[in-house]
Amino acid sequence: MQAFGLFPFVRYVLCLIAGILCYQYTAHLSVIFMVTCWAISFCCYWTAYFFAPNRLFLGLLGQAMLTLLGWLMCYFQDSTHQANHYSHYLPQAEVFQVTIDSWVEEKPQTWKATGEVKQVIIGRKTVATQGSILLYFDKKTVALPRFQTSYWLKGHPQRIAAALNPAEFNYQTYLQRQGIAFQCYAKSRQLYLIPSSTTGFSVRAWAFRANALCDKIFTTYLSQKSSRAVANAMILGLRDELDTSLMQAYSASGAIHVLSVSGMHVGIIYQVLSIIFAFLLRKGIGGKISFFCLVFSCLWFYALLTGLSSPVLRSALMFSMFLVAQLLNRKQNPYNTLACSAFFLLLWKPLWLYDVGFQLSYLAVFGMVFFQPLLSKLWIIETKKSWIHQAFNALWQITTVSIAAQLCTFPLTIAYFHQFPLYFLLVNPFVIGFSTIVLCYGVFFLLATLLMHSLGISFGIKALATVLHYSIVVLNSTVEFTQQMPYSTLKNLSFSPLEIALWGFLLLGLGFLWHSRQYVWIKINLGLVLGLWVVHVGQVWQQSTQYRAVLHYTKQGYLCSIITGNQAWIMADSTLSHEPSKTLTHLNNYLATNGIQKIFWYKNTPEPIGYMPFVAIHQQYFSCWQIDKKTLLYLHQAMPQQQLRLTSLQPLDYLVLSHKSIRNLDEIAHIAYKQLILDGTVRPWEAERWQQQAQQQGIAVRWLGQTGAILL
């Protein structure tokens, strides 16, 4: 406990995190009750502090206060609890005043942005409101919206749908944690542009303009799309031009983080600036102040260039705290400083805790602080012997940084992304080196270009751009070469929350064993290894004996998966089966969490594919499957009436209809079935009409657009 007292902010941030996590499960509790509890704990703390000080009792009260504070911060930052949130007026309001408050993202058919709802019109009355909304503008009829552009929007915002397939990414929860619960699609006839009346200086507006100007520079001087896409993604955080093949190459090499402006980029700039200006730290207090001002200014200038994106903002704040601690000449405990930055960031934005980038950034930095010094001692290189020894030492230090970061982040990366790059140890030192060059030179290129344009000089800019282009070509070639190597990536991996926790404790236990060399840590680590083995064996046994069939929700057509053991058969209509990569976006997480090693696509061909756990008949208008003694008939196209009447094979367990199959339920009255299912192609108004007909006829009906995927 005495050693733990060296970094008190670790305790503080853990209590705050506990409160944030509790809010997810206790959000229904009365805020008055929670405020009362906090006030009581506050009064008890200070009463005990002055009249009956007891370290243990005071510590427990303080931790209770921070836990309750985490809950309350989540509540007060959830704008839907506010009485003037626009969602409370949705049944009556049809006209909304929205102001764009984010970067506008280009999609194939739309412009995507978030907006703040300032006012709503109800009848002849205007009501001031607040709250964010997700907006999609039709590209064919609406010009590119800009930051701080305001519109009167006539429409009916829809609640963002929850994930409708098992283990699918829940976009609804993701946006709710950003304060967004509704979305709206708008065409030009629904919009009225409000003339801009914005006055004064806005930091975010300046940041967005700076970001757009830098994007224009890259577009002008980097003619090759792949180089321009990487430069925009890596330096400015704009990923619109990245193609799928390039993303897959970076993912396979374990370098996908390079293409997202993140804490790593800010860390690189911080380290490079620290090396360049290290001489100032040896010149007394004046040098320290100069060092602080230079590095602090450069970090926040880069944050502005990226449009103040959340990952860069978090990292800039974190490293700023390191700079402040260094300036105040405080004895730095890196764990305490790291926890301090996380504490204040979560106090400001508590739901950042659920952000994947936030989690991975802090775990990576913790790994570098905790494990890198231990790993670097495994090979001590005498740098004084020659420059070759210095080069090898630099390469070894980069390698240990990569290993340390990967050690702490791999449980989460497997849980979130279900893959692991096998060659990260070989590739990451080169990727880190080349990405450092590209990032630093790219920022220098932007500054040099802006300066030369302001002085009216154009000579030499193309030469500078050529150097940047070839630097990116070398980086791209490195990751593409890695992708082509055999077994570059292990896929379809999965960790349960229990496995993530056990891995985390095991890594900490190994680190403490290395530090303390105490026998007790050997016993603890052996117990954790045994726990991991038991969980893994249980999971392998469960997956080897599993058998299930699921009818999935898609808007494009039918999609059914049948899992037996570690194999999966996928049946889909022609639209989906011709584009397996897009289809698997609905299934990737589901297949990975079930430990699927082999995937077979049933393309309605007569030849068997190994052991098929079903019987299938496919015709032009319908498909019929028999799965585990249950029969399913899928009508996916409108059939001639005469042929439809002949489609009565036997009493069915399930009859599935697409939106093109029939006009009303009377057409299928002759077919005997136990349950009627409407697939994802059925539109809401069609589903409502058919559900009413089914209710009148006493038929059990389920619509995938409402219930989600169905376990058959």
The predicted-structure confidence for 220-262, as pLDDT tens digits, reads as follows 888 888 888 888 888 887 777 777 777 777 776 666 677 777 7
Q: What is the mean pLDDT of the chain?
A: 80
Higher per-residue pLDDT: 273 or 381:
273
> For position 617, what pLDDT does the model report?
58
DSSP 130: B
Q: What is the mean pLDDT of residues 125-146?
A: 87
> For position 1, what pLDDT does the model report?
43
Question: Is the distance from CB of 635 to CB of 662 less than 8 angstroms?
Answer: yes
CA 614 and chain centroid, separation: 37
Higher per-residue pLDDT: 418 or 255:
418
Q: What is the mean pLDDT of residues 697-701?
A: 80
In this structure, are 643 and 560 located in the same domain? Answer: yes
| 98-112, 175-189, 265-279: least confidently modelled range | 265-279
Question: Is the distance from CB of 233 to CB of 239 less than 8 angstroms?
Answer: yes
| 95-109, 216-230, 540-554, 597-611: least confidently modelled range | 597-611
In this structure, are 642 and 699 located in the same domain? Answer: yes
Q: What is the mean pLDDT of residues 666-671?
A: 73
> For position 530, what pLDDT does the model report?
93
In this structure, are 560 and 476 located in the same domain? Answer: no
Higher per-residue pLDDT: 663 or 119:
119
In this structure, are 573 and 700 located in the same domain? Answer: yes
In the predicted structure, residue 706 carries a pLDDT above the cut 90: no
In this structure, are 561 and 588 located in the same domain? Answer: yes
Q: What is the mean pLDDT of residues 32-44?
A: 88
| 49-53, 446-450, 568-572: least confidently modelled range | 49-53
Q: What is the mean pLDDT of residues 438-451?
A: 86
In this structure, are 263 and 302 located in the same domain? Answer: yes
> For position 162, what pLDDT does the model report?
84
In this structure, are 466 and 319 located in the same domain? Answer: yes
In this structure, are 256 and 191 located in the same domain? Answer: no
DSSP 82: S
> For position 533, what pLDDT does the model report?
92
> For position 615, what pLDDT does the model report?
60
> For position 574, what pLDDT does the model report?
66
Number of structural domains the chain divides into? 5
Q: What is the pTM of this model?
A: 0.81
Report how many helices (DSSP H) and strands (DSSP E) the chain contains, helices first: 24, 22
Higher per-residue pLDDT: 151 or 435:
151
Q: What is the mean pLDDT of residues 536-556?
A: 85
Q: What is the mean pLDDT of residues 579-595?
A: 77
In this structure, are 98 and 190 located in the same domain? Answer: yes
> For position 329, what pLDDT does the model report?
67
Could you tell me the two tokens for 288? 């320290």
> For position 221, what pLDDT does the model report?
86
In the predicted structure, residue 271 carries a pLDDT above the cut 70: yes
Residue 439: CA atoms inside 13 Å, Cβ hemisphere, count? 30
Residue 595: CA atoms inside 13 Å, Cβ hemisphere, count? 17
Q: What is the mean pLDDT of residues 543-570?
A: 83
> For position 16, what pLDDT does the model report?
92
Q: Taking the CB of residue 428, how many other CB atoms lie within 10 A of it?
A: 23
Higher per-residue pLDDT: 346 or 392:
346
**Closest to 283 measured CA to CA, from 268, 294, 269:** 294
In the predicted structure, residue 131 carries a pLDDT above the cut 90: no
In this structure, are 337 and 243 located in the same domain? Answer: yes
Could you tell me the two tokens for 646? 């002949």
From CA 405, how far away is CA 408, in angstroms rounded?
6
> For position 2, what pLDDT does the model report?
47
Name 537's Cβ contacts closer than 8 Å, sequence gap at least 6: none
The percentage of the chain sitting over the pLDDT mark of 90, rounded to a whole number, equals 2
Q: Coil, strand or helix: which one is 120? A: strand
> For position 607, what pLDDT does the model report?
44
In this structure, are 281 and 185 located in the same domain? Answer: no
Q: Which of 32, 50, 81 lies at the terminal end of a domain, its last residue?
A: 81
> For position 702, what pLDDT does the model report?
85
In the predicted structure, residue 464 carries a pLDDT above the cut 50: yes
Name 262's Cβ contacts closer than 8 Å, sequence gap at least 6: 311, 312, 315, 357, 361
- Residue 45 binned pLDDT confidence (cut-offs 50, 70, 90): confident
In the predicted structure, residue 621 carries a pLDDT above the cut 90: no
Q: Ranked by mean pLDDT, which of 361-365, 503-507, 557-561 comes out on top?
A: 503-507
Bridge-based pairing of strands 559-564 and 547-551 is antiparallel
Domain coverage including residue 591 = 547-711
In the predicted structure, residue 572 carries a pLDDT above the cut 70: yes
Bridge-based pairing of strands 125-128 and 132-138 is unpaired
In this structure, are 514 and 598 located in the same domain? Answer: no
Q: What is the mean pLDDT of residues 459-463?
A: 82
Sign of the C-alpha dihedral, residues 190, 195, 201, 206? Answer: positive
Q: What is the mean pLDDT of residues 521-531?
A: 89
In the predicted structure, residue 77 carries a pLDDT above the cut 50: yes
Q: What is the mean pLDDT of residues 534-547?
A: 87
> For position 608, what pLDDT does the model report?
44
Name 458's Cβ contacts closer than 8 Å, sequence gap at least 6: 452
SS (H, E, C) 219-266: HHHCCCHHHHHHHHHHHHCCCCCCCHHHHHHHHHCCCHHHHCCCHHHH
Residue 35: CA atoms inside 13 Å, Cβ hemisphere, count? 6
> For position 639, what pLDDT does the model report?
62
Q: What is the CATH number of the domain that holds 92?
A: 2.40.50.730
Higher per-residue pLDDT: 568 or 328:
568
In the predicted structure, residue 666 carries a pLDDT above the cut 90: no
